[in-house]
Structure 1
């Protein structure tokens, strides 16, 4: 009778060092940060900065104060809206910012069917 002896198991793959894991983690963090920055600016036109300064809410209306910074030669259109707790739009209006000024302050009053919880200026574009 023949007895066979099995060969010793091959050594496991060498472990990656801490330096490799640090490099991989750093690259992943940079990639995630870059994607976050791109996502934050998606849908915005470069060079136009809309800002909601304040808003005053009553039971049936919202008055919003806003600013828009832009290029002097650009005519810009933005949407001003009021929303409820579920972010459903209760009222909205398109506002125009004429060419000739690089910064404009504005105030709009929107009639709402019920009490809003907030207001904003958004979706600014040239045109």
Structure 2
């Protein structure tokens, strides 16, 4: 009489559902972590955007930007210009007063040497 080897156990339906549940939980956790990392370091409720900049000369840059925030918040922002090595060659601090929700401004920045770009570098509540 020949004996056959026992058949390998097949995964049960309950085992597969457990693996699916673990996979979904891992995906949700990864998505949550991605959202947290994308927003790390940002000030909630403050949105800053550089619209355009134009290098006018070796000593001046014009920058147009907008800042949106809560209407009751007073916000201090730094607008700067930088050179090819990203060294700051011009800088101005501006204050957006409370009572204003969004501003769009054009400023002229004096620079110590020719700039290659300009930006709204940072904003925070006062």
TM-score by length of 2: 0.71
Partner of 2:99: 100
Task: Give, in angstroms, the shift of residue 72 of structure 1.
Answer: 0.6
Task: Give, in angstroms, the shift of residue 92 of structure 1.
Answer: 1.0
Contact 1:44 1:123 in 2 (8 A): no
- 5 Å-filtered alignment, 1:33-44, equals 34-44=32-42
Partner of 1:15: none
Aligned pairs, number: 112
Q: In structure 2, the residue corresponding to 1:77 is in which secondary structure?
A: strand
Contact 1:48 1:69 in 2 (8 A): yes
1:69 paired to 2:39: no
Partner of 2:120: 121
| Residue ranges of structure 1 left out of the alignment (5+ in a row) | 1-19
Q: In structure 2, the residue corresponding to 1:108 is in which secondary structure?
A: strand
Cα distance between partner residues in 1 of 2:82 and 2:37: 23
Range 39-48 or range 82-91, more displaced: 39-48
- 5 Å-filtered alignment, 1:1-127, equals 27=26, 31=30, 34-58=32-56, 59-127=58-126
Return closer, same or farther for 1:88/1:36 CA change in 2, 3 Å cut-off.
Answer: farther
Partner of 2:4: none
Q: In structure 2, the residue corresponding to 1:100 is in which secondary structure?
A: coil
Cα distance between partner residues in 2 of 1:94 and 1:34: 35
Cα distance between partner residues in 2 of 1:97 and 1:35: 32
